[in-house]
Structure 1
Amino acid sequence: MKKTLIKNGRIITMNEKREIIQGDILMEKDRIKEVAPQIEIEDARIIDAEGKVVIPGLIQTHIHLTQTLYRGQADDLELLDWLKERIWPLEGAHSYESNYISAKLGIAELIKGGTTAIIDMGTVHHTNAIFEAIDESGFRGIAGKCMMDYGKGVPKTLMEDTKTSIEESLRLLKKWHGRSNNRIQYAFAPRFVISCTEELLLRVKDLSREHGVMIHTHASENRGEIKILQKDRGMRNISYLHYLGLTGKNLILAHCIWLEDEEMKILAETETGIAHCPNSNLKLASGIAKIPELLEMGATVSLAADGAPCNNNLDAFQEMRSAALIQKARLLSPTAMPAKKVFEMATIGGAKVMGMEKELGSIEVGKKADLVIVNLDKLHSCPKQEVDVISQLVYSTGAADVETTIIDGKVVMENRRLTTLNEQEILRDANKMIHQQLLRGNIKKA
């Protein structure tokens, strides 16, 4: 049986008209074949969504699956201290096995929270393990090996030479880009400018265009980072990346908090993708990005949780809520960031940043069958009648309200039970592995 029919759901289409309809969705293989008030078919598997809401799979455009294992190991630190004292030594301690376990832990959490696609940045070594976990779980991801060939404070376990970094990235690209029905794609992932030589950045620019893949990096997250860059390269982040010719639709920049007006203009005019990570930015005290202003200028903005050690969860619903609330407080305006705009960022906005808006981000005929069924019949979201459903999803809903997750037409979670991953095995392995990793990284317990 290759057809699946979701019946009787309240469908948040996120199509051009932003229609919300009561009805059915027919999926065939990996695609949405029909959306209608009522679909009758005999040879399909039926999923009853009576009283439930069906939404496009949520998209997070900046994740570190490699860090999920280190949740709770780097709390209450400023970004550069957080990296140098805890995260970089821990990432450098990764083995293939520990990176694989970390990735599976993150993917399981993401699926259970209704996230169906991510853009991921691995660490310097053992990135193949992350791709293996994505592939085996049926998850959708654009991912890449972290590239670091420069900078002070980088441990020897992460520092690499430019040639090796590029060669390993190309090897992974050749092996994984377009695999599993294009569910897996590659992106070059220089960590951030201050950990990369100009030679590496220019080579990445050329290779990304040659191979038609994305570039995923961090930019303007922290004032200290910008000071280092200005001293080292004589320019601010966005201006420098633009000077090198990296800005454009194939570039994804995480954070973009400390921007000058001219930098904001560059991002909007070049259609560079922005991954807004509100809870990570709050926890690391990095600042609050000027998202309403960027959107007003026409910038392409999406949402993400970042990594588990700086959040400390991967719940897209929490990111939506925070993304709305922090702007209301920053601008002292309840309309500064409406729920509908935030939900767009988590769906069709994420698809645009991935370069996949023709495939993902809305429930429309011909698009990929990445769908999520949410139960709003809970105390914290009741009453569910006579209220705006988008507002409910943004302000009242959490990861635990997701009942079913479908990726590429395959049910990867049903009735809160993962179907492609063994949850108990993942919990056991992660809890066992963390002690070993702290010892390998010569890190004291948090």
Structure 2
Amino acid sequence: MPRRAPDLVLAGGDVLLHDGGGAWRVERGDVVVRDGRIAAVGKATEGRKDGTGKQRTSQVRDCTGCLVLPGLIQAHVHLCQTLFRGLADDLRLEDWLARRIWPLESAHTEETVYWSALLGAAELLLGGTTAILDMETVRHTGAAFAALERVGIRATAGKCLMDAHPEGAPLDLAESTDAALTDAETLARRWHGAAEGRLRVCFAPRFVPTCSGPLLRAASDLAERFGAQLHTHAAETIVERETVLRTTGLEEIAYLDSVGIAGPRAALAHCVWVDAHEIARLARQGTNVVHCPSSNLKLASGVAKVPEMLAAGCHVAIGADGAPCNNRLDVFAEMR
């Protein structure tokens, strides 16, 4: 039986290929897409033509002179904030949250979360990002998953967990510990592994100043039970670092380790204000660090010690963060 004609052929580009180990190479060739999936990659043009030499599909894109590469990954985004672009400029993190972002997140409805996630995911796909680790807001995370299911991006997303009421946050933005965990578990039962495995749930405490110790420990337990990731912010500003040290008696990375937010399941966004001892701990744990350079500069948080982290053996990924702390979700801008 003859093979079904391809839906699309990306023809004649310089294709970036991975050998399955650690090596990359570039080869001139075609990428054949069939039934929405990459069916073949290589030099041969058989995907373009049938046995008589006729064109098998009209959807052939000439990629001569172009680099054709796998979809890129962003390991820290906030799709619930896409509609806030341009509404929180010229503020440091703490004021940015209290005066703009928390009130805006509190005002979200199920519909606005849906459209915010859909718009953000579309922007990411148009920029070459095909997989994300996303932290939503406190409510309506199911609407974000519905948008992600529709748009086709590969996503791990989580409801933002907050059971402490930080200064400046609307009262309804923090939940009881039990309510936050129950909602997160319900989301995991519905969405973890949905869309043929394309969608997954993570457990996402916002950051230590907004979360109790019991909430953080329970989030770690849920992640273990569901085989899911943990996603939080850590050591983003000097104020955060000093606050955590004052309230817990520990440096932030050590405190997160003590409550189970560490190791290969955990992704810690920012990690700007960490010292050599903490970098060594991150490397030893195998905890993932997410570098967000544009956000760190826009909010005047500082410059992360990425060269030192890499030299120590840390796993470091990249993320654009949210639209209002970056104004774009372009992974190429972050790489530059």
Common fold, TM-score beyond 0.5? yes
TM superposition shift of 1:306: 0.3
Give 2:328's aligned amino acid. N
Aligned counterparts of 2:173 and 2:165: Cα–Cα separation in 1: 11
Give 1:165's aligned amino acid. A
Identity %: 45
TM superposition shift of 1:31: 4.8
TM superposition shift of 1:50: 2.2
Aligned-residue Cα RMSD (Å) equals: 1.5
Aligned position for 1:438: none
Whether 1:11 and 2:15 are equivalent positions in the alignment is yes
Aligned position for 1:423: none
Could you report, residue by residue, the CA deviation over 1:136-186 in whole angstroms, capped at 9, with x for unpaired residues? Answer: 111111001000001431321201000000000011111111111211110
Secondary structure of the corresponding residue to residue 195 of structure 2: helix
Aligned position for 2:266: 251
Give 1:104's aligned amino acid. L
Whether 1:317 and 2:332 are equivalent positions in the alignment is yes
Aligned position for 1:148: 162
Aligned counterparts of 2:132 and 2:176: Cα–Cα separation in 1: 28
Aligned position for 2:53: none
Aligned counterparts of 1:317 and 1:169: Cα–Cα separation in 2: 32
CA 1:193–1:92: 2 relative to 1, 3 Å: same
Whether 1:79 and 2:83 are equivalent positions in the alignment is no
Aligned position for 2:113: 99
TM superposition shift of 1:39: 3.6
- Gapped runs of 5+ residues in structure 1? 322-446
Give the conservation status (yes or no) of the 8 Å contact 1:93–1:157. no
Of 133, 139, 158, the match for 2:153: 139
Secondary structure of the corresponding residue to residue 173 of structure 2: coil
Whether 1:21 and 2:27 are equivalent positions in the alignment is yes
Secondary structure of the corresponding residue to residue 87 of structure 1: helix
Residues 295-310 of structure 1 aligned to structure 2 (within 5 Å): 295-310=310-325
Give 1:294's aligned amino acid. M
* Larger relative contact order (Cα-Cα within 8 Å, sequence gap ≥ 6): 1
Of 235, 254, 257, the match for 1:239: 254
Q: Which has the larger displacement, 36-45 or 225-234?
A: 36-45
Residues 254-269 of structure 1 aligned to structure 2 (within 5 Å): 254-269=269-284
Residues 401-416 of structure 1 aligned to structure 2 (within 5 Å): none
Aligned counterparts of 1:260 and 1:103: Cα–Cα separation in 2: 35
Secondary structure of the corresponding residue to residue 267 of structure 2: strand
Secondary structure of the corresponding residue to residue 309 of structure 1: helix
Normalising by structure 1, what TM-score?
Answer: 0.70
Could you report, residue by residue, the CA deviation over 1:207-259 in whole angstroms, capped at 9, with x for unpaired residues? Answer: 11111000100000001011111111111211111122321111011001110
Aligned position for 2:207: 192
Give 1:122's aligned amino acid. E
Could you report, residue by residue, the CA deviation over 1:345-379 in whole angstroms, capped at 9, with x for unpaired residues? Answer: xxxxxxxxxxxxxxxxxxxxxxxxxxxxxxxxxxx
Whether 1:35 and 2:41 are equivalent positions in the alignment is yes
Of 204, 210, 226, the match for 1:211: 226
CA 1:291–1:130: 2 relative to 1, 3 Å: same
Whether 1:53 and 2:67 are equivalent positions in the alignment is yes
Give the conservation status (yes or no) of the 8 Å contact 2:216–2:260. no
Aligned counterparts of 1:109 and 1:124: Cα–Cα separation in 2: 23
Aligned counterparts of 1:152 and 1:25: Cα–Cα separation in 2: 50
Aligned position for 1:281: 296
- Total equivalences in the alignment: 321
Aligned counterparts of 1:247 and 1:268: Cα–Cα separation in 2: 10
Aligned counterparts of 1:301 and 1:142: Cα–Cα separation in 2: 17
Aligned position for 2:134: 120
